[in-house]
Amino acid sequence: MKRDLTKTVVSLFVLAAFMTLGANSYNRYDTYLISKEKDKVKDSLKEFKSDTHLILISVDSCYFKLKSLLEHNDLRDNSIRLLEMRLEGMIDKYDSLIRSFNKSESKARYFFKILKRRAKENNTEKFRRKLLRRIKKKEKSFEKQMRRTKPLLEDIRKSILKFDDIVGYCQISKGLDGVDDIIEDVVNTIEEGEELHSEIKEYIDEGLKIIGNIDSRNSICSFFKFW
């Protein structure tokens, strides 16, 4: 009987140790997962920021070149072809920009989903509600910055479409009068592009700041010690 009791006690200790080890491994995995997904969001936002910089430089360069050609009435076939190639380059860069924007949104949604799922697993209601409130606040702040960026992306698209229209106009009416009317549109687009560059950079930086301020060790995983 005593031997059976001893075996039972030992078994319980082993079971408890195993459960503790399993829980700690699970917690460590979640800590790693949260940290990894947070880094993915930050990396995708940095990629989006880089793509934004590239497309705006491309748009500025294309419009300055267009302005120069129009001012010198240089609408030879090779000049038109140069503008066509510049247009193709802008379209490729814009497509990359949209992909990186969508990627940032997708990564962020998954990141916040993981945080909420992990917070809901907390059995202490006070901790659970507090974590969910904090996550929701961060998520809303991030989504706000991304929503503010979307209209600016549309403005970039419109600038590219306008460039396409002007190139099309030049293709049809090269060497004819009426080019002076287009130059004003080009100048206005250049000025708008400079403002866009500043606004988009501000919103992306704010998004990076929001994600960066989420410290997985303190704000999300601190309740592990209560398990």
Sign (positive or negative) of CA dihedral 148, 151, 157, 159: negative
* Percent of the chain scoring above 90 in pLDDT: 35
Average pLDDT score over residue span 85-107: 94
* Best CA proximity match to 95, nearest among 105, 83, 87: 87
Average pLDDT score over residue span 127-139: 93
Computed on alpha carbons and rounded to an integer, the radius of gyration of the chain in Å comes to: 28
Give the containing element (helix H, strand E) for 144: helix 125-173
Residues 67 and 190: beta-carbon distance below 8 Å: yes
| pTM across the whole model | 0.72
Distance of CA 126 to the CA centre of its chain: 32
Quote the pLDDT of residue 65. Answer: 87
Residues 25 and 215: beta-carbon distance below 8 Å: no
